[in-house]
Amino acid sequence: SGGILSTVDYNLFNTPEVQHKGSAAIQREAGIPTTAVGKIIDPLLAEKLLQDNSATLICIGRAFLNNPHWAYGAADVLANSESFKYPDSYDWCIGWKGFYKWRQDLHKDENNN
């Protein structure tokens, strides 16, 4: 939306949903590809926006600034060893062959305690 529409009440307290709805409306009504942006830090939200045809592309900004390995965490949540392949150089340290199971077990322990 770019913050230029006079019909939208832009303020500091708006949720990213304002921009996500704008992306969906433009894609639906104009029939052109759009990008969703705005505080997308959850891989499940990013996937939902794609699956709902609210956007063609998802831009991840702040999440990458906070964690340059965000994509690997997203792969842990959304993918499996058949649908996503870690680069060979990373597979043993963060991939399915390495610490993936350890990270999953760690998250299970955090959620159970």
| Distance in angstroms (rounded) separating the CA atoms of residues 79 and 17 | 25
- What is the predicted pLDDT for the residue at 95? 61
Please, are residues 34 and 53 in contact by the beta-carbon 8 Å criterion?
no
pLDDT at 22: 84
Cα(113)–Cα(108) distance, integer angstroms: 9
- Inter-residue contact 26 to 32 (CB < 8 Å): yes
Mean pLDDT of the chain: 79
Provide the token pair at 24: 């969906």
pTM over 0.75: no
For the chain, list residues with pLDDT below 70: 1-14, 91-104, 106-107, 109-113
Task: Give per-residue pLDDT as tens, 78-95.
Answer: 887 788 777 777 766 666
How many CB atoms within 10 Å of residue 25?
Answer: 13
